Amino acid sequence: MTTKSILCVGVGEPGLPAHWQVVRTERLAEACRHLKAHACAVGLLLVRDTDSCADLNALLLDHFAPHWIAVMPPSLLEQPAWCQLLRDHCDDYHTWPLDHQRLRQAVGHALGMAALRAGPAPPQGGDEVTLTGQSAAITRLRRQIVKVAAASAPVLIWGESGSGKELAAQAVHAQSPRRKGPFVPINCGAIPAQLIQSELFGHERGAFTGAARDKRGLIESAQGGSIFLDEIGDLPMELQANLLRFLQEHTIYRVGGTRSIAVDARVIAASHVDLAQAVRRGVFREDLYYRLNVLALDVPSLRERKDDLLPLAEHFFRTFSSERAPRVKGFSGRAAQAIREHDWPGNVRELINRVRRAMVMAEGRLILPHDLGLVSAAPASAPLQLDDARIRAERDAIDASLLRAGRNITLAARDLGVSRMTLYRLLAKHGIDGASRASYTNGQSE
């Protein structure tokens, strides 16, 4: 943001010093075009009786970053709509006739606050935006992605749930020679077992009841690009053999088909479970594991990216700005401290959810810790070990999600951002009562 620029909207003479960077515009359309092209620190609204409150409110909803100051006729203060506009969008207001000295002081104060709040410019460029942050961990990942993207071998990405594995996969594709081809993401745990083969490999007409025409599978639709197999550890064993054949021969057979189809697509796979351990347990094919684990990437958890917490929170605040309550302008100092101190067991996905919820629920101009659901608890009699704290936080998140979903596994898994199979494993891991599948509804008809 340009911390010295002022946009003056409307008709009238504000009497601002000549050395300030003031841009004058009389029409809202001109102001909107300028704000889209140039960041301004302060916006000065010179309102008249004939101006439309609805049109001005629409402008301020779209451009909330500047510190807005309004100058308006006293009669408008008797109208609820104008009073609401001032409460929602403006840091200060004045009335005609104008006290120029007082206005200069108000604008000067707003410029000072804008300078204090201005931080480093957000990263520019498509790939950098997807992997926001300047911490050592994310910087190292970006360097690795550049190297991996240039090759054509399969990529295996590991990371905790919610850490951004799909964003890493998108960055690999975007920086690869296949960038102009499609990027096809598939969540292997989200497709019903009885449909997954048809979805991945396609089917021929008449292959089964309801197959009225030929259908290309998701792998075939990635021709010339990349296919991202998320949570590949959830892929059934019989499908793992078919995937292995594709990796070896670059051909597929549709369900019910007799001819092989050549597919030129790079495979990028991801998992939050240790596939080497899955191989030892006999639930993942060893030959497929070694075929996939050619180029490996580890996506760091948010705990390893403490320096990125506040830039990420601000990034998501801007990304979802259309959802915010009109009066909400940003994070308070206490909220920033709470963000830094939280352990973030749900990683980036948890941060996104908390920020979006706070933007809607906050009642003040700044987001507070309780808006984020990060009110500090009373200190315990004995400090928790880090692993114990993580386990407790994970269990609490699962319990809360099941409660909200009425113990419906499908809804709870969707709330947590994991597959149903992953949630079943987590229930068993934490020994939550009734962890068997029969104890919960799965959201499907019997």
* DSSP symbols for 119-169: -SPPP-SHHHHHT---SHHHHHHHHHHHHHHHS-S-EEEE--TTS-HHHHH
Q: How far apart are CA 236 and CA 193, in angstroms?
A: 8
Q: Coil, strand or helix: which one is 293?
A: coil
Q: Are residues 225 and 211 in the same domain?
A: yes
Task: Give the C-alpha separation, 19 to 17, whole Å.
Answer: 6
Quote the DSSP letter at residue 384.
P
Cβ pair 5, 23 in contact under 8 A = yes
Residue 93 corresponds to which tokens in the numbers above? 């207001």
The whole-number pLDDT of residue 434 equals 43
Q: Which two tokens stand for residue 368?
A: 């507070």
Residue 281 lies in a domain: yes
On whether both 184 and 273 belong to a single domain, the answer is yes
Q: Does the residue 180 lie in any domain?
A: yes
What are the average pLDDT values for consecutive 10-residue runs of the chain, which has 446 residues?
77 88 93 90 94 92 89 94 90 92 92 74 42 89 95 95 93 94 91 83 83 87 95 90 92 89 95 92 94 95 93 92 88 90 94 95 89 68 58 74 74 79 78 48 45
In a domain, 20, yes or no: yes
| Euclidean distance between CA atoms 98 and 113, whole angstroms | 23
Say if residue 86 is in the same domain as residue 139.
no
17 lies in some domain: yes
Q: CA-to-CA distance for 402 and 410, rounded, in angstroms?
A: 10
Residue 53 CA to residue 50 CA, distance in Å, equals 9
Structure tokens at 335: 């909220």
Domain that holds residue 414: 386-439
For residue 280, give the H/E element and its range. helix 275-281
446 domain residue, yes or no: no
Do 109 and 183 belong to one domain? no
* Widest Cα–Cα separation across the chain: 85
Rounded to whole angstroms, the Cα distance separating 396 from 207 reads 46
Say if 172 falls within a structural domain: yes
Q: What is the pLDDT of residue 387?
A: 62
Final residue of a structural domain among 117, 147, 171: 117
Tokens of 71: 């100058």
Among the candidates 343, 371, 399, a domain finishes at: 371
What is the number of other CB atoms lying within 10 angstroms of the CB of residue 406? 10
Residues 189 and 315 in one domain: no
Instruction: Judge if 134 and 57 occupy the same domain.
Output: no
Domain identity same for 147 and 107 = no
User: Is 175 inside any structural domain?
Assistant: yes
Q: How far is Cα 203 from Cα 197, in angstroms, rounded to an integer? A: 9
In the structure encoding, which two tokens stand for residue 317, read together? 């605040």
In terms of domains, do 154 and 47 share one? no
Crossing angle (nearest 10°) for helices 165-174 and 136-150? 40
Q: Which CATH number fits the domain that encloses residue 409?
A: 1.10.10
Give the CATH number of the domain where residue 242 resides: 3.40.50.300
For the chain, helix (H) and strand (E) counts, in that order, are 18, 14
- Phi/psi-derived region of residue 301, left when phi > 0, alpha when psi is between -120 and 50, beta in every other case: beta
**pTM for this one?**
0.66
Do 74 and 56 fall within a single domain? yes
Computed from CA positions of residues 280, 283, 287, 291, in that sequence, does the dihedral angle turn out positive or negative? negative
Do residues 323 and 392 both lie within one domain? no
The rounded distance, in Å, linking the Cα atoms of 239 and 262 is 18
Are 135 and 229 within one domain? yes
Write b or e for each residue in 328-343: b if 16 or more Cβ atoms lie within 10 A of its Cβ, otherwise e.
bbbbbeebbebbeebe
Using an 8 Å Cβ cutoff, are 330 and 313 in contact? Answer: no
| Amino acid of residue 197 | Q
Q: Are 262 and 251 in contact (CB under 8 A)?
A: yes
Q: Among the three residues 94, 117, 140, which one is the final residue of a domain in this structure?
A: 117
Residues 250 and 130 in one domain: yes
Report the domain count for the chain. 4
Q: What CA–CA distance (Å, rounded) separates 380 from 378?
A: 6
Residue 392 domain-assigned (yes or no): yes
Q: Are 146 and 171 in contact (CB under 8 A)?
A: no
